[in-house]
Structure 1
Amino acid sequence: MGAYKYIQELWRKKQSDVMRFLLRVRCWQYRQLSALHRAPRPTRPDKARRLGYKAKQGYVIYRIRVRRGGRKRPVPKGATYGKPVHHGVNQLKFARSLQSVAEERAGRHCGALRVLNSYWVGEDSTYKFFEVILIDPFHKAIRRNPDTQWITKPVHKHREMRGLTSAG
């Protein structure tokens, strides 16, 4: 077993004493930072590599904080119109996952970059934290590599907005 396999096994046992402590400390650290910030390196290198990350120029990691919970319908003073079946305001759930919301926010913030994928890094009672892998489509290291050339094509602009990443 290689190093990444051992890291993967550690992340599978999130209830172990070591991981519980690490996740709690990291969560506190992430809360002090802004809701969207660039991470110097992936928190989970094994997961990032499985999702397509490479430690080379042109790859960027952003950490996103998303507020947990359902979605309240934005209506003025709770006044909904139409049939009673559509009068719900409070107990509605958003159709998309919080992970896809995190990807969308990263894509909006970094308009020139392409969203490749994302993964979970932590959560508390209020927030979920995701790391999003972004690629610079104009970097020569990406454009010249036959394995990554596909993402430089214009059809892959804002994949995250159209549900083309694994988060949906």
Structure 2
Amino acid sequence: MRHHDDHPDHDDDIEWVSKSEMKRESHALQQLGMDLVKLKPSDLAKVPLDDELKDAIALAHKLANKREAQRRHMQFIGKLMRSRDVTAIREALNAFDQKSAVANAHFHKLEQWRDRLIKEGDKAVNALVAEHHQLDRQKLRQLARTGRKELAAGLPPKAYRELFQYLKENLTS
């Protein structure tokens, strides 16, 4: 009579994955495929994809108006993703997210400067010009002053927008 302990255990090398875990991975890959379909063509061209995936994504764009067909096709893209190493694809998408986050941070910084210039006037203008010597002090003062007047009078924020545009064009970081 043999006991279970008498023979070497070969199950140590096998990694068991639950059905739920397999479904989660499948859904994550399908979501990755959806993220690829949502990319602009210029960004999609930067992602390392094989021809089969490129063709599947192109077909997904054509099926945009057909809900059920697109749903099934997205499942197909998810299936295609399961047979590929998606590390490079994820890295490319993360790079887009980081680039977007940096752009958003810069945009918020510009908005903060604009609001500070209008609120504080010359004090903020001097602080900004001290940091960024290339800016035109007179133009900043004039736009900030006009923006304050527009705000106080309840007029459309023309100078407010012009001030933001000026900052956007002249502040790179």
TM-score normalised by structure 2 residue count:
0.20
Which structure: greater helix fraction? 2
TM-score normalised by structure 1 residue count:
0.21
Higher relative contact order (CA 8 A, sep 6+): 1
